[in-house]
A and B are shown apart, each in its own frame.
Chain A
Amino acid sequence: MIRGWTARLLGGATGLVYLFLYAPVLLLVVFSFSADRNVGRWGGFTLEWYREFGANENVQSALAISLQVAIVSTLVATVLGTLAALALERFRFRGKKVFDALLYLPIIIPDVTMAVMMLLFFTWSLDLVDTVTGFQLRKGIATVVVSHIAFNISFVSVVVRARLEGMDQTLEQAAADLYASRWQAFRHVTLPLILPGIVGGALLALTLSLDDVVITQFASGPGSTTLPVYVFGLIRRGVTPLINAVSVVMLAASVLLVVLSLIAQRSREPGRATTE
């Protein structure tokens, strides 16, 4: 079908795309081992930046907070996002269109707008709780988690819905024909089929949460500086390879996550084959 110069052209384009995508990553990794404090100038091999990463208390605590926020917000957003996707795909109810549109909102609106909304929301609602109940709640890790859940629900539900749309509904009807209860049908038919979508959505949520700067900054209170927020502040003092080292560790962690999820999905495949 594709022969000669077309093939070569496509091959070249593919190569360029990969180069464009991965050359910066490669440079980042290489320079994280550079002894020169100036990013972009090679000064010989060193592990100094990784040692500093391990020794710098601020970085460590920011990392711990980032992981806490990412894991909790991903778990909650994955459950809620999946439920929302199921509701929108499988049921008809009043206000469905509005709900559908609202769910897309966090994806469409700019980060800054979302951040301001969060800031106002938390300021007002915590104030309200204080006046009504007398409980003095403060912004902190919890408010950051809530804000991350808020935008992650949308992303998870979009991914899960795409999976649900592609799924043959007659399979569920067949399960019902065979006297499966609604729960059994969901547990043994629907869930395994949409699981790759759920895992994909969860990974996306995890990545977005680990990445976010603007919304986090506005939703945070004392003791909730996350790693990206801290790194962003460090840049004011000039970029040192410490930032590269931090990024490489985060990159390695995300690659590991992706690989793990691929393995998880593959091991489910035989089970899926039988249901299909």
Chain B
Amino acid sequence: MKEGDIPMTRKLLGLLFAFTLVAAACGGSDDAEEAAATGDCAVGQTDGDLALYNWSEYMDPDLITAFEAEFGVSVTEDFYDSNEAMQPIVAAGGSGYDVIVPSDYMVSILIEEGSIMKLNKDAIPNLSNLASDFASGLPYDPDAEYSAPYQWGTTGIGVNLSVVGEDVPRTWGLIFDAELADQYAGQITLLNDPRETMGAALKYLGYSLNSTSEEELAEAQALVAEATERVAAYDSDQYDELVGSGQTVIGHGYSGNFLFQFLELDNPEDYTYFVPEEGGTRWIDNMAVVADAPHPCTAHTFINFLLDAENGAALTNWNLYASPNAAAEEFIDPEVLADPIVYPVDQSKLEEIADTGDFEINYSDAFNEAKG
């Protein structure tokens, strides 16, 4: 049990809250001013060097070089390791960054506190390259006014095939069904994340992972509580290594992490990752322009550049995450495109985690009670 994670999360939430207040108190007037200034950007226009704030190892350096050469600006890239590390810095204002890459739920937080600006869609014609389910209607930014998808992935199960067998049923039952899961007791990990883990149980029960029904959540809580006896740890950091090193057999976690873990092994064919047939989470990282970005036009041009078909493909070929760019598919390495770990075969039952507002606390409570 990783009890230590809870205070840390609380601390971060506390920080987040403090910054939301600060941002609300002192950020207001500047935002409106800057937003007005962006209307002037033309396609391909630049207004200075770009400052990009991104996750580590998420951007192909060749793409940066190509952008610099094409538009005659230089790009500075800085790195963060979590949404929560990036948010306060951007929210405080004056960060100096132009483009950031927040995950889905963080986009809605940033919109709410006014930390990112509305995109000038006229300056980003390549938005038309996006696949239809990414172009609009995403729960965190319904009209796609503030963000453009960057890459996406899923949350599912990574397994050691040499233990569970090639024809293992691809279901959340491997964790939640006593008959299937008891044989792996003590060799299962679940994510230490209320929304992901309660969401997995909800999916297994056939409900939406954004359910706001107290009865459904109570059912899911009972399932997770029962699974706790089989679980070796609630862990969000090392689940992939644990499966890869044989310490666990079944791990609940993110697609990309499992893929990279398995690629590093001598016997990658003994492992696989799948989204269970009941469905799972689809997470999406997005590009957004900081409200007080010093170079909003270069920022728009950069987003347009990455949404180009060939550049979008280069990105996926480099970081091995799925691309939201439909036009890019013909340039993506066929092997990557056919890899079910990167592109799940059945995407119809994937759901994005949406902000449930006041119901969020029910998720945390149910999760903490279930963990015991």
Contact = CB atoms under 8 A, between A and B. Distances in A.
A243 to B, nearest CB: 11
A235 B81 contact: yes
Contacts of B53: 222
A234 B56 contact: yes
B55 A112 contact: no
Contacts of A122: 94
Nearest to A119: B92
A119 B89 CA distance: 7
A181 B245 CA distance: 70
A123 interface: yes
Interface stretch (B31-39, B185-193, B260-268, B336-344): B260-268
Tell me what chain B mostly uses at the interface: helix, strand, loop, or mixed. mixed
A240 B264 CA distance: 10
A42 interface: no
A140 interface: yes
B51 interface: yes
A127 B82 CA distance: 27
A40 interface: yes
Contact of B88 (A116, A126, A136, A237): A116
A233 B55 contact: yes
A46 interface: no
B22 interface: yes
Nearest to B240: A238
Contact of B78 (A36, A40, A120, A223): A223
Interface size class for chain B? 35 or more
A273 B115 CA distance: 62
Given A230-B56, A233-B56, A237-B57, A222 B79 contact: no
Contact of A127 (B93, B261, B294): B93
B349 interface: no
Nearest to B319: A237
Interface in B70-120: 76-82, 85, 88-89, 92-97
Nearest to A37: B264
User: Max chain A CB contacts within 10 Å: which of B79, B85, B95?
Assistant: B79
Interface stretch (A68-76, A167-175, A213-221): A213-221
A245 to B, nearest CB: 16
B92 A232 contact: no
A120 B92 contact: yes
B324 interface: no
A266 to B, nearest CB: 42
A112 B55 CA distance: 21
A139 interface: yes
Contact of B79 (A139, A233, A240): A233
B18 interface: yes
Contacts of B88: 116, 119, 218
Contacts, number: 91
A233 B241 CA distance: 17
A122 B89 CA distance: 11
A238 B94 contact: no
A225 B82 CA distance: 15
B279 interface: no
Interface in A205-262: 217-218, 220-225, 229-230, 232-240
A43 B93 CA distance: 47
Contacts of A240: 264
Contacts of A230: 56, 79
Given A138-B294, A217-B85, A223-B51, A123 B15 contact: no
B92 A123 contact: yes
A38 interface: yes
B258 to A, nearest CB: 10
B156 interface: no
Interface centre among B15, B76, B81, B245 (most CB of A within 10 A): B81
A38 B15 contact: no
Nearest to A130: B94
Nearest to B265: A38
A35 B22 CA distance: 48
Contacts of A123: 92-94
B211 interface: no
Interface of B: 11, 15, 18, 22, 26, 51, 53, 55-57, 61, 76-82, 85, 88-89, 92-97, 240-241, 244-245, 257, 260-261, 264-265, 294
Interface of A: 36-38, 40-41, 57-58, 112, 116, 119-120, 122-124, 126-127, 136, 138-140, 217-218, 220-225, 229-230, 232-240
Task: Rank and list the top 7 A-B pairs by shortest CB-CB distance, nearest first.
Answer: A233-B56, A222-B51, A37-B264, A233-B81, A221-B96, A223-B76, A138-B96
24 contacts: A41-B245, A58-B61, A116-B18, A123-B94, A127-B93, A138-B96, A139-B94, A139-B96, A217-B80, A217-B85, A217-B89, A220-B78, A225-B79, A233-B56, A233-B80, A234-B57, A236-B56, A236-B81, A237-B57, A237-B257, A238-B257, A238-B264, A239-B241, A240-B264
